[in-house]
Structure 1
Amino acid sequence: MTDRTTTPTTGRRTRLPRPIGLTLVRPSEIYGAEPYFHELTAGLDRVVRPRGHAVLLRVLPDREAELELCRRWSTEGVVDAVVLVDLGVDDPRVSLVAELDLPAISVSSPEISSGLPAVWTNDDVAVEEAVDALALLGHVRLAHVSGPLGLAHSLARRDTFTAICAARGLSAVTATGDYSSESGERALQTLLGDESPATPTAVVFDNDLMALGGLAEARRRGLDVPGDLSLVAWDDSAQCQLSEPPLSALSHDVQRIGEMVGETVLAVLDGERPPTLEAPPIVFVPRGTTGPPVP
Structure 2
Amino acid sequence: MASAPAARTARPQEGTPVGLALVRDAEVLGAEPFFHEFIAGMERVLVPLGVPVLLQVVATVRQAGERMRAWARYGQVQGMILIDLLPGDERVALVKELGMPAVVIGDPETAGGLPAVWTQDDVAMRDVVAGLVGAGHTHLGHVGGPAQMAHTIIRRRTFEAVAAEHGVRTTVFDGDYSEAAGVRAIAALAASAERPTALVFDNDVMALGALHEAGRRGLAVPADLALVAWDDSALCQLAVPPLSAVGHDVQELGELVGNALAQALAEGAPAAGGRVVKAAPARLVARGAL
TM over 0.5: yes
Name the residue aligned to 2:20.
22
Q: Deviations over 1:160-205 (max 9, x none)?
A: 10111011100011001100011111022113322x2x31000000
**Counterparts of 2:278 and 2:80, CA distance in 1:** 19
TM-score by length of 2: 0.92
Rg (Cα) greater in structure: 1
Cα distance in 1, alignment partners of residues 54 and 33 from structure 2: 17
**Counterpart in 1 of 2:286?**
286
> Aligned residue for 2:42?
44
Q: Which digits, 9 at most, give the CA deviation of each residue in 1:186-229, with x for residues without a partner?
A: 022113322x2x31000000000000011111101101111110
- 1-structure distance, mates of 2:60, 2:208: 25
| Cα drift, residue 281 of structure 1 | 2.3
1:172-251 residue pairs with structure 2 within 5 A? 172-194=170-192, 196=193, 198-251=194-247
Distance 2:167 2:13 in 1: 60
- Relative to 1, partners in 2 of residues 1:265 and 1:254: Cα closer, same or farther, differing over 3 Å? same
Structure 1 counterpart SS, 2:229: strand
Letter aligned with residue 116 of structure 2: A
Q: Report the Cα distance in structure 1 between the residues aligned to 2:13 and 2:129, rounded to whole angstroms.
A: 51
Q: Contact 2:114–2:275 at 8 Å: present in 1 too?
A: no
Question: Which residue is equivalent to 1:58?
Answer: 56
Query: 1:1-295, aligned counterparts within 5 Å?
Result: 16-194=14-192, 196=193, 198-271=194-267, 275-288=275-288, 290-291=289-290
Q: Say if 2:199 and 2:227, in contact at 8 Å, map to a contact too.
A: yes
Contact 1:192 1:200 in 2 (8 A): no
Query: What is the SS of the residue equivalent to 2:267?
Result: coil
1:159 is matched by which residue type in structure 2? R
Unaligned runs of 5+ in 2: 1-11
Contact 2:202 2:230 in 1 (8 A): yes
Return the letter of the residue paired with 1:256: E
Where has structure 1 moved over 6 Å in runs of 4 or more? none
The SS at the match of 2:172 is strand
Q: Distance in 2 between matches of 1:155 and 1:115?
A: 20
- Residues matched between the structures, number: 275
CA contact (8 A) 2:179 2:207 kept: yes
Q: Is the 8 A contact 2:13 2:51 kept in 1?
A: no
Q: Is the 8 A contact 2:13 2:78 kept in 1?
A: no
Paired residues of 1:47 and 1:263 also in contact (CA < 8 A): yes
CA contact (8 A) 1:252 1:281 kept: yes
Give distance in 2, aligned partners of 1:104 and 1:17. Answer: 17
Identity of aligned residues (%): 48
- Indicate conservation of the 8 Å contact 1:36/1:237, yes or no: yes
Quote the residue 2:5 is aligned against: none
Tell me the amino acid that sits aligned with residue 45 of structure 1.
Answer: E
What amino acid maps onto 1:264 in structure 2? A
Give the 3-state SS of the residue equivalent to 1:270 in structure 2.
helix
Amino acid corresponding to residue 87 of structure 1 in structure 2: L
Matches of 2:203 and 2:77, distance apart in 1: 30
Measure the CA separation in 1 of the matches of 2:182 and 2:131.
22
Q: How far apart, in 2, do the equivalents of 1:87 and 1:16 lie?
A: 28
Q: Would the alpha carbon gap of residues 204 and 101 (structure 1) be closer, same or farther in structure 2, given more than 3 Å must change?
A: same
Contact 2:95 2:101 in 1 (8 A): yes
Q: Is the 8 A contact 2:129 2:159 kept in 1?
A: yes
- What is the identity, as a one-letter code, of the residue corresponding to 2:277? L
Structure 1 unaligned residues grouped into runs of 5+? 1-13
